[in-house]
A and B are shown apart, each in its own frame.
Chain A
Amino acid sequence: MNRVNAVVIGAGAAGGIVAKELAVAGLSVVLLERGKWYTAYDCRKDDLRNQRTTLLGNAFGPEDDGNPRVWLDVKGVPHTVLPSEGSYQNNAACVGGGTLSYGAQAWRYLPQDFRMRSTYGVPTGSSLEDWPISYDDLEPFYEKAEYEIGISGDYSGTPFHGPRKRPLPMPPLPPGREFSILEPAARRLGLHPFHIPMARNSVPYNGRGPCMRCRWCCGFACEVDAKNGSQNTVIPIALNTGNCELRTECMAREILTDDRGRASGVSYFDAQGHLRQQLSDIVVVSGCATESARLLLNSKSRLFPAGLGNRHDQVGRNLQGHLYTGAVGYFDFDTYDDVGPGASIAITDYNHGTPGLPGGGMLANEFIRLPIHMIDRLPPGTPSWGLAHKQAMRHWHKRSIVIMGPTQQIPTANARVTLDPAVTDKWGLPVVRISGNVHPVTFDIAELQAKRADAWLKEAGAISTSLMVYKPDLVNAGQHQAGTCRMGNDPQSSVVNRNCQIHDVDNVFVIDSSVHVNNGGFNPVLTIMAIAYFASGALVRNWKGTGFRS
Chain B
Amino acid sequence: MFSRSKAGRLTRRQFVAAGALGSAAIAVGCNRGKQGNWEFLSEEQARTLASICDQIVPADEFPSASQAGVLTYIDRQLIRHYRRHQDAYRSGLEQAQASSRRRFGNDLASLSQRQQLDVVSDLSQQNRPFFELVRSHTLEGYYGSPRHGGNRDAVSWRMLGLAEPPDLGRAQYDLRKGSPS
Q: Which of B48-88 contact A (CB under 8 A)?
A: 55-58, 60, 62, 77, 80-81
Which residue in A204, A213, A371 is a CB contact (below 8 Å) of B157? Answer: A371
Chain B residues within 8 Å of chain A by Cβ, number = 42
Tell yes or no: A203 within 8 A of B by CB: yes
1/0 per residue, CB under 8 A from B, across A197-223: the answer is 000001111000111111100000000
Question: What is the CB-to-nearest-CB distance from A392 to chain B, in angstroms, rounded to a whole number?
Answer: 11
For A203, the chain B residues whose CB sits under 8 A away are 173, 175, 177-180
Q: From known contacts A212-B168, A212-B170, A372-B140, infer whether A204 and B175 are also in contact, taking CB-CB under 8 Å.
A: yes
Query: Are the C-beta atoms of A394 and B58 separated by less than 8 Å?
Result: no
Query: Are the C-beta atoms of A385 and B55 separated by less than 8 Å?
Result: yes
How far is A372 from B151 in the complex, measured between Cα atoms in Å?
Answer: 11
> From A211, which residue of chain B is reached at the shortest CB distance?
B171
Query: Are the C-beta atoms of B160 and A371 separated by less than 8 Å?
Result: yes
Query: Are the C-beta atoms of A171 and B140 separated by less than 8 Å?
Result: no
Question: What is the CB-to-nearest-CB distance from B5 to chain A, in angstroms, rounded to a whole number?
Answer: 31
How far is A474 from B81 in the complex, measured between Cα atoms in Å?
Answer: 26
Interface of B (DSSP majority class): loop
How far is A202 from B163 in the complex, measured between Cα atoms in Å?
Answer: 23
For B175, the chain A residues whose CB sits under 8 A away are 203-204, 209-210
Tell yes or no: A77 within 8 A of B by CB: no
Interface size class for chain A?
35 or more
Tell yes or no: A390 within 8 A of B by CB: yes
1/0 per residue, CB under 8 A from B, across A373-397: the answer is 0110000000011110111011001
Query: Are the C-beta atoms of B145 and A213 separated by less than 8 Å?
Result: no
Q: Which of A289-306 contact B (CB under 8 A)?
A: none
For B62, the chain A residues whose CB sits under 8 A away are 390
How far is A384 from B128 in the complex, measured between Cα atoms in Å?
Answer: 13
> From A334, which residue of chain B is reached at the shortest CB distance?
B161
Q: From known contacts A169-B181, A170-B179, A204-B179, infer whether A209 and B171 are also in contact, taking CB-CB under 8 Å.
A: yes
Q: Which of B143-171 contact A (CB under 8 A)?
A: 143-145, 147-148, 156-157, 159-163, 166-171
Query: Are the C-beta atoms of A174 and B178 separated by less than 8 Å?
Result: no
Tell yes or no: B139 within 8 A of A by CB: yes
10 residue pairs A–B, Cβ–Cβ below 8 Å: A56-B148, A209-B175, A212-B169, A214-B168, A372-B140, A386-B55, A387-B60, A389-B57, A390-B58, A397-B161
Known: A375-B143, A385-B135, A386-B56. 11 other contacts (CB 8 A): A47-B143, A56-B80, A205-B181, A209-B171, A210-B173, A214-B168, A215-B162, A338-B166, A384-B135, A385-B57, A386-B55
